[in-house]
Chain A
């Protein structure tokens, strides 16, 4: 798996512990703030450049919070964060980030932080931070030792992959994290006890229902199942296998000028069972049937697998195709196949016979034909 976004609330709670006074809000939470409180309220869903998108309300009065949340909710947002306002000068804003890299943990620091940091990256200083050189780095950056040590230890024990604090205010020994974005390593969830959990992971954009279903399925299997809806009304849909092979197939569609017509990207690999492949294929087929494109095609393609069994996975795909065969025929959708690997011959022969019988046959290629040929044929048929 990859790096996933933690909510700002959880990120700050982990770093600051009890000292953190921010409150996580949803549409129906009833939190009482002192009437004269000066607050900052923001959308907490891992979105970048919130300020520029109007997703942060600075110095908002408590009685106006509900209306603000309602407005954001209309734009599809559901998780929010309220914090006390920290009045400060823009000149005080610093930038700090830590990222796990091959060599260790890379620290970037800038004395001039703020929302325009990306425009002057040359102002940042770079170093490798470790338990041994906290004092040294503190001296160089002016960030107090206790805070730097705390961030590093949380970064390590909570399996952070990346943290960006921007702006960061440093007032002597006192630090304020005005904004914090954290990516955690989802593969390490097992090793994080009493830290973050699934509930703290946030998705930047509301994902498609089909994506959610596949994400749920992914949690139950050691195989790899991924799905991303690109253009719900696209004409070219993919059932791809293998991380690299799937990009090669998608590349070919883009090279043929069909990039914007691609309905979905995704891949199954790592030896999924027949049932898992069936459930995966079902989602892709449903997506394709729902697309409003006039002419559509399904490409089932993948490289020459090392150990994913062609016969088993194809049997799963065939069950899913069989269920929707009538609708597929009605929409005149043909299926274009290229695959190789264990049990290739028997798997391909069965698929060809099946597609023929169901009137869905575009082409069926084995490992002798390049992976891109099935894509070319599908594009030609559109």
Chain B
């Protein structure tokens, strides 16, 4: 079976060697827009374990490995191509390494220019005729609607669509030049034709897959009905086409443009952009090659506009393009941090139902709290209560300061303990550290027997915030489900005077501003006071000394430590590399706004 048919039938996948995110993303977009499965399975690169890309509008992580042999069998089984975007000096070495691990693979694209000639000829002697290798240099291979191996056809999703790369057609584009491959792909689509495949041989002196091999592919491909070819002065490739046609090994119509007539305007030969575009012998001139092609019936145009017009005479033109809306792809924005959901924030457990504890089993939290208190907890209610607090406070998503700081520290390559410490150090008056101060406030309010109204007045007049009140997200009408869940414990507490007081304060504050509701810190503080007083027999004085020792904040630090560590471990497993705030998210205040 022709290799192109094999590619069209099979589930072609690739490994990327080196790092070129823009090209990789364009391949994923091509797969997505073609309705195929993801073709990039792994990246071989140093310094990270995964890299983030989009699959449609969803973010995905593609695993990174240090070497081809580290790629697990589950991924490796689907690898048929190598996309090699390493530098010129590493290109040959990494290509050999790939085929050593994947001997059955179909081929590769080597992106780098500046591959030493000796390396290129050595690649030729090893792989020519056995593997399909586009390059060194160039933009790779495209099989419309099936495979995009390289930058070929563009890297913007809008280019993929305007070049009609997802529509299977009948014209093969073959070119040495990468830029002109893009130009020809575009021209074919403008001419109302669609591609069967496009192959950029590469402008280097020694491309691995030669022009003859690529034309043999086109000839054997049942989908290809015509060929559009772009060549340049220098080299003798075009005489290979002449030979193939003479020997009837190439029978499909060919439209060609051989660039380089400009060379005739100069006294001495000019070194043009590509390595082999230096005319050394007369028969390598653009004119000579053009004429040789014409003799065997190739439509070798005199000018580029003439070439464009001739494309319209190639077979095909009845293909129907699928309707593709790339609006959502254009609107997507990459997240700056990615992590998993540590706990399901929407599933709030029920702790008390119809006046009875749902789950009286005690565990780590009650043991830990007993240790903090220096005294065993005795009541099943208090045990259940502290377990509930632990569950509620493990995590509140990756957005909060402590989690963000932990993750950024982990991504800077720091160890678990350092990353955890960095996260813990954000706990304070604005984040997580309000439980203790809230407890102090509720105690003050309850012991002074003041009304909630005068308590609020007094506290705010003194210029203090009422800790335990207010939330960025929840407000009147959108209650915090965690607060509602633990509020159920009041059913088991005959007095719950601290909680009642806290709710009374909330009533006053929400009268001013709907977002000034009792938050989870405030609720936990109040209920902890009630539980310790009513179930464990703590006096006001004892509670006071606990608050002074910052016992109440420990109730947050304990479970959240587990949450931070979960985020840290997740970052280390993903290992997306060092974090840097994107410019678009950084507002630098202009100098003239500075005060003084």
Contact = CB atoms under 8 A, between A and B. Distances in A.
A305 interface: yes
B273 A306 contact: no
B273 A246 contact: yes
B179 to A, nearest CB: 3
Contacts of B278: 2-3
B550 interface: no
B182 A305 contact: yes
B304 interface: yes
A265 B155 CA distance: 27
A269 B116 contact: no
B183 A304 contact: yes
B265 A260 contact: yes
B351 interface: no
Interface residues of A, number: 59
B259 A253 contact: no
Interface string B299-314: 0001111001000000
A247 B303 CA distance: 12
A250 to B, nearest CB: 4
Contacts, number: 194
B190 A100 contact: no
Given A241-B179, A253-B262, A259-B262, A307 B116 contact: no
Interface of A is mostly: mixed
B89 A190 contact: yes
Contacts of B115: 187
Interface in A178-192: 185, 187-188, 190-191
Contacts of B151: 306-307
A244 B203 contact: yes
Interface stretch (B170-178, B396-404, B529-537, B564-572): B170-178
Contact of A251 (B113, B117, B190, B260): B260
Nearest to A262: B265
B261 A255 contact: yes
Given A1-B114, A185-B118, A342-B156, A245 B162 contact: no
B177 A191 contact: no
A248 interface: yes
Chain B interface residue number, banded: 35 or more
A284 to B, nearest CB: 15
Contacts of B257: 248
Interface in B335-368: none
A331 interface: no
Interface of A: 1-3, 100-104, 156, 159, 161, 185, 187-188, 190-191, 222, 224, 226, 228, 230, 241-248, 250-255, 259-260, 262, 265, 267, 269-270, 302-307, 340-345, 367-368, 370-372
18 contacts: A100-B117, A100-B118, A101-B121, A102-B206, A188-B117, A242-B178, A243-B232, A244-B180, A248-B180, A248-B183, A253-B262, A254-B264, A255-B303, A265-B262, A304-B183, A306-B139, A307-B26, A343-B156
Interface of B: 22-23, 26, 87-89, 113-119, 121, 124-125, 139, 150-156, 158-159, 162-163, 175-183, 185-187, 190, 203, 206, 210, 230, 232-233, 257, 259-262, 264-266, 270-275, 277-278, 286, 302-305, 308
